[in-house]
Amino acid sequence: MQNNVAITPELVAQHGLKPDEYQRILDLIGREPTLTELGIFSAMWNEHCSYKSSRLHLKGLPTKAPWVIQGPGENAGVIDIGDGLACVFKMESHNHPSYIEPYQGAATGVGGILRDVFTMGARPIATLNALRFGSPDHPKTQHLVSGVVAGIGGYGNSFGVPTVGGQMGFHTRYDGNILVNAMAVGIAKADEIFYAKATGVGNPIVYLGSKTGRDGIHGATMASAAFDDTAEEKRPTVQVGDPFAEKLLLEACLELMQTGAVIAIQDMGAAGLTSSAVEMGAKGDLGIELDLDKVPCRETGMTAYEMMLSESQERMLMVLKPGKEKEAEAIFIKWGLDFAIIGKTTNTLRFVIKQHGEVMADLPIKELGDQAPLYDRPFVETPKRPVIDPHHIKSPLSNADALIKLIGSPDFASKRWVWEQYDHLILGNTVQSPGGDAAVVRVGDGPLGLALTADVTPRYCEADPFEGGKQAVAEAYRNIVAVGGTPRAITDNLNFGNPERPDYMGQLVYCIRGIGAACEALDFPVVSGNVSLYNETNGRGILPTPTIGGVGVVDDVSKTATPAFKAEGEFILLIGETKGWLGASAWFATIAGREEGAPPPVDLEAEKKHGAFISSLIQDGHATACHDLSDGGLAIALAEMALAGKIGAKIDKLPEGLPSHAALFGEDQARYLVTVKDQAMAAIILKRASSAGVPALMLGKTGGHELTLPGESPISLERLKKAHEDWLPSYMAGEI
């Protein structure tokens, strides 16, 4: 492939650049770019790397708190968790590659996010994922579920980090564009964090890790484009991962970091060598010069264009202190990895690429990196949906039958088939495994721990993006509170359709505003994240899905709460106000067959107040079990607690003034279920709640092997379990 080819409008379009963007390139460099330069601009100015459609709006998110060490803009966010330690975490998407090649797409998504964490000097201790698939009836869904789950498990298990939580849902709007969001969490010493900002002129730039191949070329560009029926043809743009090489890379990097040799470090993820070099130089106000003849390659005859755009995995770029090269090289050779000095920092603010003694690219580095295009795209607010009056909605089924149908539906059915393929116990620090509100992972020998969750309700975001954005943060907050953690910070993965459509752009803008409002009110800042746009196929966009990854601190992992009923004869209390909100609810969609109505409003003050009340109950040891109420409302929460504890319950009382189906399946926010040992303690809690201005109601007692709802025939736990556990294994076995 020649470097000096004619740059045609067709070639520009193939690189994902608009005519006006190409004109901007011409104006910037004052000449026609070489092919390599065009590829570099394509890599750096696509949506995936530059956030050109979202940066303007992301600036409004709250990112600071006394415990925030590093907010957005680095490989990952960092918070202080006490004991001289920091938690390093981030979430990223691998949506497009996972649709094209589900195993490798999902696997390299895990690999990429792990590198983001250990690039900062942290040892990964846990991963989570948030998955969205199309309708179970779609001919590709089963294949995609199988490949993605195997890819996540295969990479994570081989690398040796536990996959401890996440979520998985189905909807026809993801038929042609699934979502695979991976989150990684690591621990580092608070005063030993490493950054991507290069400093010093003439310092060596070192290539580390695996060799460069032709896999993943144009991966970032592909991830910034909508799909059509030719998506399968993009398979060569998907990277191939090697978790065993990544494990070696982790150990080598962490060892090298201890020597004091590292000035800056950046993993080679999206846009590979181009992005990592540009970001390090641009952040440090330095130029970068690279000699591609020195880059370790596993394929012969690679051109400058291919080398700069390859997204081969398990690679790092570092700026080292002069004189430390030999020491660094010895470490990487010991671990069986490539080590090569491939360039140097300069004071020119230019990005210069040489190969075979020729200059292949010579570009202004700031304009490539932190001065990439910024768009203020037109957007419109999603029209408000009418509030559904629960008194006007009749139930087509008994509440008992509705519960059985709902808990056996694709979104609510047990995901045991998924998480049993993941090693969630490796490293021996998993305190709460998948299946609860949040995972709990011990830090070192304890008692300190972390509460981790990933959550979003896309149907709320579709119905009202602002309230949906608020709810996603509030849900993550509640999940952490419900296990006994103190919510500290979030990472987000903003998955949306085509930002060039004002309606989809409006979804993005208002979801961001909702997230911002909730983070501000709950003192729960955003410290890292990812934006994934153009998630659509043939003009049909996904449901707006701003996934929230939440991290909380657990002071003592021996004092956490779980959803499982613990003993017979305990009293069940509902905390929070119930108005029977059926709009945009799971019951309304699955039982009534209607995806309509305004979603439940999120009262952030109530969330904070009720969260503080629940935290005090758990810390005081009064709550024997705790579960937040969200999807499916009260009935689903009761069923999940009963199944987890293998103990039934009899509910004698429901919130008053509502049809029973609205009281049981309404999705009002800021609510929790707790159990307490005896009536005396229940009375104390009710009194405490009243004094604190927190709504609380005694519902009934635990006991037996049935769940009995008011006015309904008892449902055996066996029947409930069968409905809950059977769907996914049967579906994956091709039996339904």
Catalytic residues: 48, 94
Tell how strand 449-455 and strand 486-495 pair up: unpaired
Do 507 and 513 touch, CB atoms closer than 8 A?
Answer: no
CA atoms of 113 and 119, how far apart (whole Å) = 10
Residue that has been written with the tokens 């709007």 in this structure:
173
In this structure, are residues 635 and 664 in contact, taking their beta carbons and an 8 Å threshold? yes
d(CA 154, CA 21): 40
Structure tokens at 388: 């559904």
**216 Cβ partners below 8 Å, 6+ apart?**
108, 237, 238, 239, 240, 272, 310, 311, 312, 313
Of the candidates 154, 147, 58, the residue with the CA atom closest to the CA atom of residue 528: 58
Helices (H) and strands (E) in the chain, counts: 25, 28
Among all chains, which residue has been given the structure tokens 């609810």? 585
What is the C-alpha separation between 154 and 167, in angstroms, rounded? 18
Query: How would DSSP label each residue in 33-48?
Result: PPHHHHHHHHHHHSHH
What values do phi and psi take at 444, rounded to 5?
A: 60, -130
DSSP state of 176: T
Q: How far is CA 656 from CA 148, 366, 577, 579, in A?
A: 45, 62, 11, 9
Compute the distance between CA of residue 535 and CA of residue 543 in angstroms, rounded to an integer. Answer: 9
Q: Distance between CA atoms of 223 and 109, rounded to whole angstroms? A: 12
Q: What share of the chain is helix, strand, coil (3-state, %, to 5)?
A: 40, 25, 40
Question: Which H or E element spans position 649?
Answer: strand 649-651
DSSP H helical segments within 410-544, as ranges? Answer: 416-419, 458-463, 465-482, 502-522
Closest CA to 268 of 226, 224, 309: 309
Total length of the chain: 736
Are the CB atoms for 729 and 736 separated by under 8 Å?
no
| Residue 734 DSSP SS3 | coil
Burial of 511 (0-12, 13-18, 19+ CB in 10 A): buried
**β-pair partners for 627:** 673
Instruction: Give 66's contacts (C-beta < 8 A, 6+ positions apart).
Output: none
Asked if residues 728 and 414 have their Cβ atoms less than 8 Å apart, the reply is: yes
The radius of gyration computed from the CA coordinates of the chain, to the nearest angstrom, equals 26
| DSSP codes of every residue in 414-427 | --HHHHTTS--STT
Q: Could you tell me the two tokens for 311?
A: 């997204």
User: How many angstroms separate the CA atoms of 461 and 466, rounded?
Assistant: 7
- Tell me whether the omega of the peptide bond preceding residue 447 falls within 30 degrees of 0, making it cis: yes
Strands (E), 582-716: 625-628, 649-651, 672-676, 696-702, 706-708, 715-716
Question: Minimal CA–CA distance to 471: which of 616, 631, 613, 627?
Answer: 631
The secondary element (H helix, E strand) that includes residue 355 is: strand 350-355
- Cα of first residue to Cα of last residue in the chain, in angstroms, is 50
444: left (phi over 0), alpha (psi -120 to 50) or beta: left
Whether 546 contacts 515, CB under 8 Å: yes
| CA dist., res. 295 & res. 653, Å (int) | 70
Dist. CA 167–CA 454, nearest whole Å: 7
